[in-house]
Structure 1
Amino acid sequence: MRVEAFLRQGALSAPDKIAVTAGDTRLSYAELDAQSDRLAAALAKEGVRQGDRIAVLMENVAEATIAIFAALKAGAVFCPINPQLKTGGAAHIFQDARPAAILTQAKFIGLCSEASAGLAAKPFIVSTHAPAALPEGALSFGELVENGDGAPPETGDDSELAMIIYTSGSTGRPKGVMMSHSAMDAASRSIALYLDHRASDVVLCPLPLAFTYGLYQLLVCVRTGAHLVLERNFAFPHTVLEKARAEDVTGMPLVPTIAAMLLAMKELEPGALPALRYLTNAAAPLPPAHVEGLRKLFPGVLLYCMYGLTECARAAYLEPDQLDRRNGSVGTAIPGTEIAVVDEQDRPVAPETVGELVVRGPHLMLGYWENPEATQRALRPDPATGRLQLHTGDLFRTDAEGFLYFVGRKDDMLKVRGEKVAPREVEAALCAIPGVVEAVVFGRPDPVQGTILHAAVVASGSSLTERDLLRHCARSLPDFMVPKAIEFHSELPKTASGKIARRLLVESGD
């Protein structure tokens, strides 16, 4: 199924039901379908052709959802772009994707104009400016939506490219991940199945639509006829939770940063979100202590610990009823897919042996946009069956029953005093200390030992000292895993997707 068909079905079955709420804007399924139809027809009139790329550089606003479905209905490929990027980051993506059009908000039009200035074929820019205030050459988003007429152009089948979404660049230059309609259909179908997603669900999303985890909140909601409530971020948690209560939110995605903020809210009482049915976590693993804290804060709410990556959206999930037995696990393969932990020769390893996770299934990317070398490194045939599998670059182990436990990224592994150290294991020990909200562990060069461990933590409302933390680590970890020094920070640097930016701490020397 093509992705825009999710919306068409929702508009047919429940036209008056609210599909998206963003700020003061509420769009029914019929309105979202009709407005994206008109915008698609207008884009085609402006010269967008099948296969053209359309960049969508917007915050979590209603116009972003219209833009995404309009691009698909025009037969184009949408490229969601993080609005937190600076001019250089946006310019790199524009130069790589070469969009025919850029759909953006008024506040970002200067950035888009500057970042696209060097392109050989200059894209036209569509902005949410009031028509009278539009810069020269820019088109009005509102006018195109209002005045677009005629049917959207004919589109192809679900094997076509639907989206190019760029990696965060945490391990190098951002790469454009190519996802077909069929892969996005398979991923969203699987997620909806294991979450038991329902038309009655109301999902609050404070995660950027420009990233996979946030985007799939939209796709899963629309395919199941649910209601998506968009928040621009989680910077003001009290305001976001008030909105969640007002909208009777039943589902909410978390990243570790948001979980830490919730757990640090001393005034937040259990049962504060009475309609809440489930919570999910992906993007980065939750420390076991945070899992326990969330379960106490939201009793009776299903907590799904998941693992995913841009190249396949989601790969594994843990059933909530397994949390007591397997705290720290991200479960098994999502429905309709397969996973394995393999050695350097791509052979499956025994339980409790660390290896790289590989993923197989209909939800895999087509490859990296115009980057065949990186594609060949990531997508390689299984030696036993010849089936294409995605090499994630992440290290895992399984227990005797095949449940996955994240160890760390290959790139993050450290060698300390001749021993391999996964920073996440030390971070989990630090986060188990009452008062520690977040922790990150990294290596620093040392002229004698080669590499020594450093840690940075955020502590909330406690009198913890470095000595307290080092004593705890010495009691719970082998000597070679105890940090040499621990620094306290008011906050840790984050990527736009909410992950702690370990690399920035290493480079800064803090």
Structure 2
Amino acid sequence: MAQLIHELVERIAARAPSSTALRHGAGRVSYAGLAAAMTAVAAALAGSGAGRDDRVACCLAACPESVALLLGVSSAGCAFVPLDPQLAPAQLCAQLRHSGARVLVAGAVQAAALAAGLADCPALRSVVVLGEGAATGARKPGARRFGPRAVGWNDWLAGAGRAAPAAGMPVLGALLYDPRSAEPAASALSQRNLVAGAASSARCVGLGAGDRILAALPLHTDYGLNTLLATLSAGATAWLGAPGDSAGLAALLERGELTGLWAAPATWEALAGASFGRGADCLRFLVSAGGSPERGALDALRRALLRTRIHLMYDVGDACRSTCLMPSQLDERPGSIGRAMPYSDWLVLRADGRECAPGETGELVQRGPLVTLGYWNDPGRSGAAFRQLPPLPGLALALAENGRWPGAGARKDMDGYLYLVDARSDTITTGGYRVRAREVEKVVVGTGLVAEAAAVGVAHPVLGQVIAVLATARPGARLDSAILFGACRARLPQHMLPAMVDVRRAPLPRARDGQIDRALLAGELAPLFAEAAP
């Protein structure tokens, strides 16, 4: 069994070397070609002085080079740090500093934009530039705008020797940065997380070697990275370079060249009225990544794609791909977020650490190989969310197992289907978006109309959760729910708008630690959408 992600490709390359691993534009890369490319990248990294657990940042759109880099980083024993090329240079440089990346691989445009800020990244030793204008060195006059440490991609690969095997098993596999955070915040994933995550998704949707999967979600996101690795682990073909709009995606689907697709709920809502043409016969499955589309859109997809399995993957807090639900179960179990993904488990625990009985509400805890290492350079946040699980009876001397506490309450039915019942977590997952409660509260308080405010997640049968805002008026302010909602609508994007606003006369309830008791408020509001049509 593969233990490192590059071994997934090596196994397929040994068994079916001529099979197509990647499609990008008119080009194709075989599994043998991809294995050779990642070996060259690993050798170049070794030549750059990158060693076990060193971070290698990638600021590229999905392309064959970015995939070869991902796998070569693993082969060299390093950790992959995918960055969003669309971010502002200052934000990218902040993430580079925070990660302590030793090597940066970027497109020519991004490298030029970042050049001035890279002086503040003391750990960075090499900048590798891909694309036009990547010429470097005294022989090539384009070097200056990229800085003295820059080298072109082809020169970098050509100057490498033979790759030495990575010394020991790397601890770190990847750092994934949270785009919602104003300050750099990254989840740390181990190689075990990445390999098990690929196997989990591949098994969940039934990926096979004959599948052709569009990499529609960017590699700097958990879903995008997981989709690519799941595809490669199955020996299937990953189609890179997704169309930039729903019309282009619909045209690609109509041609019937894809057998599967992961996309955000908003994308499926945009495609709900599309004519799928040959895609209606060729699409074996689709995945709504991060929750369910709006119910009308979901029903339209089900009518148009009668032969296609639809998987709704839900997140719990920052834990992506936590559970999966088929739409037929959404009909039968309104409000459920499904069952745990393969090779993972979600426990519902009492305060004493024992498991709750079916139907009993308790603390939701994740266990298994999908539990990540924690938050990079943030021991306080990691300590709050990751801690040891109670030992199993009879195994008190076994090695302790870490679990993940996202700060959410839930109940589980007799068949293992989960239902969120409160919102102690700071993260609200609604319609595929993950929204920080404190970000909503900051905007609400910033209106100048309220004295205090709380944003909580309330279970919803289709959207997973919706946002509810509870507030008290600032002394002397004229305020009611309609006025406050209008102020929110003027300041918040659509996906962060509350579904309910309640202006209260009495102070908001407090927990023992003096903080607003969001769990109590969420419990009060739990029945609010229970009768909503599934």
- Relative to the length of structure 1, the TM-score reads 0.78
Q: Are 1:297 and 2:304 counterparts?
A: yes
Partner of 2:19: 17
| Residue of structure 1 aligned with 2:340, choices 304, 320, 333 | 333
Aligned to 2:405: 391
**Which amino acid in structure 2 is aligned with residue 443 of structure 1?**
V
Q: Does 1:252 align with 2:264?
A: no
SS in 1 for 2:370: coil
Matched, 1:37 2:47: no
The reply to whether residue 373 of structure 1 matches residue 380 of structure 2 is yes
Give 5+ residue unaligned stretches, structure 2. Answer: 393-399, 429-436, 442-449, 502-534
8 Å contact from structure 1 (residues 443, 454) kept in 2: no
Is 1:206 equivalent to 2:253 in the alignment? no
Aligned to 1:473: none
Q: CA deviation at 1:306?
A: 1.6
Task: Compare 273-282 and 302-311 and name the one that shifted more.
Answer: 302-311
How much does 1:47 deviate? 2.0
Is the contact made by 2:313 and 2:325 (CA closer than 8 Å) also made in structure 1? yes
CA pair 428-333 structure 1, distance change in 2 beyond 3 A = closer
The alpha-carbon distance between structure 1 residues 181 and 73, as it changes in their structure 2 partners (threshold 3 A), is: same
1:48-82, Cα deviation, whole Å (9 max, x unpaired): 22221100111122221111112112221111112
Task: Select the residue among 59, 62, 83 that pairs with 1:60.
Answer: 62
Other-structure match for 1:113: 115
State the partner residue of 2:473.
Answer: 447
Aligned to 1:124: 126
- Helix, strand or coil at the partner of 2:70: helix
Aligned CA distance change for structure 1 residues 175 and 338 (closer, same or farther; 3 Å): same
Where does residue 215 of structure 1 map in the other structure?
A: 225
Looking at structure 1, the residues matched to 114 and 368 of structure 2 have their Cα atoms a distance apart, in angstroms, of 36
Between 281-290 and 117-126, the greater mean CA deviation after superposition: 281-290
**How much has 1:100 moved relative to structure 2?**
0.8
Match of residue 9, structure 2, among 7, 30, 39: 7
Deviations 1:85-128 (A, max 9, x none): 21232122111111111011122113332342212244321111
Q: Percent identity?
A: 25
Taking the aligned partners of 1:422 and 1:310, their CA distance within structure 2 comes to 11
Match of 1:458 in 2: none
2:83 and 2:421 mapped to 1: Cα distance? 30
The Cα shift of 1:335 comes to: 2.3
- The 8 Å contact of residues 263 and 289 in structure 2, kept in 1 or not, is answered as yes
Show CA shifts across 1:143-182 (max 9, x none). 334x255432212455632212223345x74422222212
Q: Aligned pair in 2 of structure 1 residues 112, 321: CA closer, same or farther (>3 Å)?
A: same
8 Å Cα contact 2:456/2:467 also seen in 1: no
SS of the residue corresponding to residue 314 of structure 1 reads: strand
What residue is the counterpart of 1:101 in the other structure? 103
Distance 2:364 2:55 in 1: 31
**Where in structure 1 are there 5+ consecutive unaligned residues?**
430-438, 456-482, 495-499
Shift of 1:218: 0.9
Q: In the alignment, which residue of structure 2 is the partner of 1:274?
A: 281
Deviations 1:391-412 (A, max 9, x none): 1234444334331134575335
Alignment of 1:498-509 (within 5 A): 500-501=495-496
How far residue 34 of structure 1 moved from its aligned partner, in angstroms, is 1.0
**8 Å Cα contact 2:104-2:124 kept in structure 1:** no
User: Residues 419, 391 of structure 1: CA spacing in aligned structure 2 closer, same or farther, 3 A cutoff?
Assistant: closer
What is the SS of the residue equivalent to 2:121? Answer: coil
Please state if 1:152 is matched with 2:159. Answer: no
Match of residue 521 from structure 2: none
> Is the 2:375–2:381 Cα contact (8 Å) retained in structure 1?
yes
Question: Which residue of structure 1 aligns with residue 154 of structure 2?
Answer: 142
| 1:46–1:174 distance in 2 versus 1, CA, 3 Å | closer
- Specify the code of the residue in structure 2 equivalent to 1:112: L
After TM superposition, give the deviation of residue 141 of structure 1 in Å.
1.4
Q: Secondary structure at the match of 1:153?
A: coil
Q: Which amino acid in 2 is paired with 1:68?
A: L
Contact 1:41 1:148 in 2 (8 A): no
1:359 CA drift (Å): 0.4
**CA distance in structure 2 between the partners assigned to 1:367 and 1:421 by the alignment:** 24
CA distance in 1, matches of 2:385, 2:101: 25
Is 1:425 matched up with 2:460? yes
Q: 1:25 to 1:424 in 2, by over 3 A?
A: farther
For the 8 Å contact 1:158–1:181, the answer to whether it is kept is: no
CA distance in 1, matches of 2:94, 2:269: 33
TM-score, normalization by structure 2: 0.75
For the aligned residues, what is the CA RMSD?
3.8
Contact preservation (8 Å) 1:270, 1:296: no
For residues 191-242 of structure 1, what are the alpha-carbon distances to aligned partners after superposition, in whole Å with 9 as ceiling and x for unaligned?
Answer: 212221100111112111101101011101111100011234x642121232
Shift of 1:16: 1.6
Q: Distance in 2 between matches of 1:485 and 1:354?
A: 35
Corresponding pairs, count? 457
**How many angstroms does 1:308 deviate by?**
3.8
Contact 1:38 1:148 in 2 (8 A): no
1:262 has 2:271 as partner: yes
Q: Which deviates the most, 289-298 or 445-454?
A: 445-454
Q: Answer whether contact 1:4 1:69 (CA < 8 A) is retained.
A: yes
Offset, 1:253: 0.6
Residue aligned with 2:337, SS: strand
Q: 2: distance between equivalents of 1:201 and 1:15?
A: 16
User: Does the Cα contact within 8 Å between 2:58 and 2:82 map onto a contact in 1?
Assistant: yes
Residue 419 of structure 1: how far off its partner (Å): 12
Separation in structure 1 between the aligned mates of residue 120 and residue 69 of structure 2, nearest angstrom? 24
CA distance in 2, matches of 1:353, 1:156: 48
Match of 1:116, SS state, is helix
For residue 173 of structure 2, give the secondary structure of its aligned residue in structure 1: strand
Residue 28 of structure 2 aligns to a residue whose secondary structure is strand
Task: Report the AA paired with residue 45 of structure 2.
Answer: L
Structure 2 counterparts to residues 463-474 of structure 1, below 5 A? none
Matched residue, 1:314: 321
Opposite residue 358 of structure 1, the aligned amino acid is V
Letter of the 1:302 partner, please give it.
R
User: Residues 452, 345 of structure 1: CA spacing in aligned structure 2 closer, same or farther, 3 A cutoff?
Assistant: farther
Letter of the 1:98 partner, please give it: G
User: Is the CA contact 1:441–1:453 (under 8 Å) kept in the aligned structure 2?
Assistant: no
Are the structure 2 counterparts of residues 223 and 427 from structure 1 closer, same or farther at C-alpha, using a change threshold of 3 Å? Answer: closer
